[in-house]
A = this chain, B = another copy of it.
Amino acid sequence: MRIGELAQRAGTSTRTLRYYEQHGLIRSRRATNGYRAFDEAELRVVHEIRSLLAVGFDLDDIRPFVACLRAGHATGDVCPDSVAVLRRKLAEVDTCLDRLNTVRDQLHHQLTEAIAHRERTCLRRTAP
């Protein structure tokens, strides 16, 4: 399979696939003309990459999952390294959620205060 076909089947661009290859996430042989030749299995790998990216992982995070797939596992998440990344990411997300909740409350408070202040200080132009 050449790069264009893989891109189309994976729903991404050739540019993106070259980028993944350059960063060691997907592999190809080279045909005599220099064109990349991809195995069917790479389609699976690209799908794994895409879905993890969509969740907010970066390419480094994804590497263990790809390795897990290459090791023959049915899914990329059952290997120890992948599990470790999952744990770490979950913790990161939790931290992020905490911060964001704090910010949310802060914004909410600031907003209601500001509106209250407006109602105290100036008569509302819009009818009550």
Contact = CB atoms under 8 A, between A and B. Distances in A.
Number of copies: 2
Contact of A55 (B94, B101, B106, B117): B106
Interface residues of A, number: 30
Interface stretch (A11-19, A36-44, A80-88): A80-88
A118 B83 contact: yes
Nearest to A56: B103
A90 B108 contact: yes
A96 B100 CA distance: 8
A93 interface: yes
Interface of A: 55-56, 75, 77-78, 82-83, 86-87, 89-90, 93-94, 96-97, 100-101, 103-104, 106-108, 110-111, 113-115, 117-118, 121
28 contacts: A55-B103, A55-B106, A55-B107, A56-B103, A75-B114, A75-B117, A77-B110, A77-B111, A77-B113, A78-B117, A78-B118, A78-B121, A82-B114, A83-B114, A83-B115, A86-B107, A86-B110, A86-B111, A86-B114, A89-B107, A90-B104, A90-B111, A93-B103, A93-B104, A93-B107, A96-B100, A97-B97, A97-B100
